[in-house]
Structure 1
C-alpha cells in the first residue's frame, strides 16, 4: 500500500510540477507580449512625434528664410499638428537662446529652456535627429512630462533653435487603464534613470509615485545584465509579494516598459487543479488503506484458520496417542496370565510371548538384561559342578 501510494503521489506531484511550470511559462509569454506591445505603442508615439516636429521645424526654417518668424502663424500651424497627433500635449518653438517664442497652447509666458539637457545637446551639434528627454517637470505647469525635441537651423546652417513636443504622463495612465492585467498585476514606464513615468494601478507608497526611482536590486541587476529585455521573478516592496516581470527597452529612446503579473492571478486555475489532485489522492489513499485493511484481515483470518487446523490436528494426534496409552495401561492394570515355569505371558489372541516383548509392545518400558547376585552365585555353582564332573570323567578315562 505504501509503495502504491508513493507512486501515485509521485505521479500527481510530477504532473502538478509540470503544470506549474506550464503556467509560469504562460505568464512569461503574457508579460513578454504585453511589454512588447506597449513598447511598440510607446515607440510609435515618439516616431509620429518626430514626424510632426520635423514638419514644424521645416515650417519654422521657411519662415526664417523668407520674412522671419510669424508667431501667430507658427502657433496656429503647431496647433494643427497637435490635432493630428492627440498623444502630444503641446508643441513649442524656442530660439537659439532657449527662449520659447510661441506654441500650440498660445501661452506667451516667457520661459527659457537653455538649461535642459536636450537643448544643450541639440545646440552643440549639427544633428537634427529627435532627442528625447528623461522625465521632466514642466517649467510653467509643474506637471511631469516627456519632452521630445528637434533642432532647426538658420539659412546659413547655424543653430536657430529647437522645436519641442511634450507628452503629459497622464496620457499613459489613461492608456494603461484599459488593460486587463489581473487584480495584482501592473504595467509601468521608467526612464533611463529608472524614475517612474507611469504606473497602473498606482499605490499609495512612495515607490509608486511618479518620479520615484525606487526599484528592486534584482531589477537593476537584470537591466545591467540584459539591457534590451528580460523576464524574471522578483518580490515587490509595495506588498512584499512575488511577481513575474518582463521589461523591454524602448527602441531608440531612453525608456523601459515594465509588465508584471502576479502568481495569485495566473495560478488560480493551477490551484484548482492542485486541490482536485489532492482530493483524489486522499480518496485513493483511503481506498487503498481500506483495501489493505481488508486484505490484512483476510490474511490474518486465513492464518488463524490454518493455525487452528494445525492445533486441532495436533490435538487429535495427541488424543489418539493418549487413547492408545490408556488402552495399554488398561491392559497392564488387568489380570495378566503368566506361565509359572517359563514366565511367558498369554496375549488376547491366546498366544504366548516373552515377558520383555509383551511389556515393550504394551508400554513405553524398555529392557536391559543383567544378572542378580543370587542367580550369579547359582550359575557359578552349576558351572563349577559341571567342570568338576567333566574333569573326573577325563581322569577315569
Structure 2
C-alpha cells in the first residue's frame, strides 16, 4: 500500500484545453446574455416609442376631430338658418348669424355662403373678400356631391399668401337640388400651432395630410416646407402604411427630408378622411437605451476580463500544483521506500479509530499482510483488552484537547499483541495527533515497534542482576584473628580443633583450592632430591 493516496493526474495539455473550453463557453454565455439584454432593452424602448406615438396620435386625432366638429356644427347652424330664412342665402339675418358664429368660434379666418356655382354671396369678416385661393381651388360642389363635410386641398390666399383649407357643406333647395354652399376658411398656421403643442422632442415630427394625401401641416417647421404644402407624394414604408387597411399602423423608417430615423404611428381619420403621422427620433428615445447598453456591455467586458484573469491565475495555480505534485511524488517515493523497508509499522487512523493506512512491514512484524489486517474486524486484530481500552482512552482524550496540542508524542503506549501464528509480541507505539488547518481533529498517526527481543534481553539482564545480587548476599566473609600454627600452618577453629588451612578456608568461604608448587618450593624440592641422589650414590660407592 502507498503511504500517500494518488489522485488521477490530468495532463497539462488536457487541463489547458478544458480551461480554454470552459473560459470560451463561459465568456460566450456572458456575451450572449449581454447581447440578449441589450436587444431586449432596445425592443422595450421601441415598444415604448410606439406606444408614445400612438397616444400622441390619438390625442392629436381628438384635437383635430374636435376642431373640425366645432367648425362643422357652425356650418350646420348656418345651413339650417338659411333654409328657414325668407330671403335664402342673401338674407341679412344670415350674415348676422355668421358674424356671431365667427366670433364664438374664434378659430376660422372667414365664414361665407356661395351660390351653386361657388360665387361669393355674403360672409364675414365684414368688408373682407373671401380668400381667392381657396375659392378657386374649391369653386363648386358637384350636383350629386356628398352631403357631409368636405375639405378642400390647401391653397394660398393670393400670390405668396398664407396657406389655408376650406371646409364646406352643401345647402339644398326645396326640391333637394343644390342651392349653394356654406364655407369656412381655416389657416394651416392654426393647425401647425395646435400640432406644435404635441411634445415629440427636438427631432420628432407631426404631420397632417388630407384625403388625397396632400400635405396640410407639419411640425416642426423646416426650410422648404412652404413648397411642400399640398404635395401628395409619399413612398416607402409611409405609402405601405397608408395603403394598409388597419386604422393605425406602426413603422420605423428614415426620413427623406432630414435623414433622421424615426418610429412612426400613422392614424387614419374618417369623415372627413385625414391622415395623422407622429414620429419620434431614434436618436432621442434610444438615448437612455444607449447608456444602458454601454453600461451592460462594459460590465460584460469587465466580467470577461475578470474571467480571463481568473483563468490565468487558475492556470498559474495549476502549474504550481503540478510542480508541487512532482515534488510530492518524489517525497512520496522516498517515504514509500522508507515505509516499505522499515521494520517498524507505520499506521494512520481517522478520528473514529478506523485504520486508513498501515505499512507493509506489518507482514514481518505480525504475519498479516496490510490487506488481510484491514479486512479483520477490530476484535479479531489480536489486541488485548488492556490495549484496546488504552487506545479508546487516547482517542476520547484527543477530542477534548485544544487544537494543535501533542500530548502523546513522548508517551509511548506499551501493549501485548498476538502474531498470526499465535505468538505473543511485546510492542510499543508512538502516537501523534493530526490536526487540520481549521483546528479540526483529522485523525492519528503512529509507529509501532516490536520490542519482544529487547524485553527478553531486559528480562535476562534482570535475572542476571538478581542472581548476582543473591550471590553477593550469600558470600561468607572472614574477620577477626585466625590462630595459625607457625610451623605446620594449621588453623584452629572456634571449637579448638586444628585444621588444614585449605579445609578451613573451604569451609568458611566459597573458595575452592587446587594444589600446585611455587617456583621457590620447586627449587627447594629439586635441591633436596639432588641431595638425596648424591647421598644414595655415596653409599653405593662405599659398599
Would the TM-score normalized by the shorter structure come out above 0.5?
yes
Aligned residue for 2:210?
Answer: 191
Cα deviation, residue 61, structure 1: 2.5
Cα deviation, residue 257, structure 1: 0.6
Aligned residue for 2:28?
Answer: 6
Distance 1:165 1:110, change over 3 A: closer
Q: Does 1:87 align with 2:102?
A: no
CA distance, structure 1, for counterparts of residue 325 and residue 211 of structure 2: 86
- Asked if 1 retains the 8 angstrom alpha-carbon contact of 2:60 and 2:195, the reply is no
Q: Does 1:76 align with 2:101?
A: no
Aligned residue for 2:83?
Answer: 61
TM-score by length of 2: 0.53
- Asked if 1 retains the 8 angstrom alpha-carbon contact of 2:114 and 2:122, the reply is yes
CA distance, structure 2, for counterparts of residue 104 and residue 221 of structure 1: 42
The Cα offsets for residues 211-255 of structure 1, whole Å up to 9 and x where unpaired, read as 233433221122112363211111101222311111111121122
The Cα offsets for residues 286-334 of structure 1, whole Å up to 9 and x where unpaired, read as 22122111111010111123335556888999xxxxxxxxxxxxxxxxx
CA distance, structure 1, for counterparts of residue 159 and residue 173 of structure 2: 27
Aligned residue for 2:423?
Answer: none
The Cα offsets for residues 171-207 of structure 1, whole Å up to 9 and x where unpaired, read as 0111122221112111010112322111111222469
Aligned residue for 1:229?
Answer: 248
CA distance, structure 2, for counterparts of residue 227 and residue 285 of structure 1: 47
**Following superposition of structure 1 onto structure 2, how do residues 381-396 of structure 1 map, counting pairs within 5 Å?**
none
**Following superposition of structure 1 onto structure 2, how do residues 163-312 of structure 1 map, counting pairs within 5 Å?**
163-205=182-224, 209-226=228-245, 228-308=247-327, 310=329
Q: Does 1:119 align with 2:127?
A: no
CA distance, structure 2, for counterparts of residue 223 and residue 126 of structure 1: 25
- Asked if 2 retains the 8 angstrom alpha-carbon contact of 1:50 and 1:130, the reply is yes
- Asked if 1 retains the 8 angstrom alpha-carbon contact of 2:211 and 2:275, the reply is yes
Cα deviation, residue 266, structure 1: 1.1
Report how many aligned residue pairs link the two structures. Answer: 314
RMSD of aligned alpha carbons: 2.9
TM-score by length of 1: 0.71
Cα deviation, residue 92, structure 1: 0.8
Structure showing greater relative contact order (alpha-carbon pairs closer than 8 Å, 6 or more residues apart): 1
CA distance, structure 2, for counterparts of residue 13 and residue 190 of structure 1: 40
Aligned residue for 2:124?
Answer: 104
Of 128-137 and 78-87, more deviation after overlay is shown by 128-137
Cα deviation, residue 133, structure 1: 2.1
Aligned residue for 1:38?
Answer: 60
Cα deviation, residue 111, structure 1: 7.8
- Asked if 2 retains the 8 angstrom alpha-carbon contact of 1:207 and 1:215, the reply is no
Cα deviation, residue 115, structure 1: 6.0
The Cα offsets for residues 154-175 of structure 1, whole Å up to 9 and x where unpaired, read as 4554432111011100001111
Of 163-172 and 77-86, more deviation after overlay is shown by 77-86
- Asked if 2 retains the 8 angstrom alpha-carbon contact of 1:42 and 1:250, the reply is no
Aligned residue for 1:160?
Answer: 179
Distance 1:92 1:66, change over 3 A: closer
Distance 1:310 1:156, change over 3 A: closer
Aligned residue for 1:22?
Answer: 44
- Asked if 2 retains the 8 angstrom alpha-carbon contact of 1:94 and 1:100, the reply is yes
CA distance, structure 2, for counterparts of residue 18 and residue 273 of structure 1: 11
Distance 1:120 1:207, change over 3 A: closer
- Asked if 2 retains the 8 angstrom alpha-carbon contact of 1:186 and 1:261, the reply is yes
From the CA coordinates, give the structure whose radius of gyration is larger.
2
Cα deviation, residue 84, structure 1: 1.8
Secondary structure of 2:198's partner? coil
Q: Does 1:134 align with 2:164?
A: no
CA distance, structure 2, for counterparts of residue 316 and residue 292 of structure 1: 35
Distance 1:70 1:213, change over 3 A: same
- Asked if 1 retains the 8 angstrom alpha-carbon contact of 2:205 and 2:280, the reply is yes
Q: Which has more helix, going by share of residues?
A: 1
Secondary structure of 1:149's partner? strand
Cα deviation, residue 43, structure 1: 1.6
CA distance, structure 2, for counterparts of residue 277 and residue 126 of structure 1: 62
- Asked if 1 retains the 8 angstrom alpha-carbon contact of 2:90 and 2:121, the reply is no
- Asked if 1 retains the 8 angstrom alpha-carbon contact of 2:207 and 2:215, the reply is yes
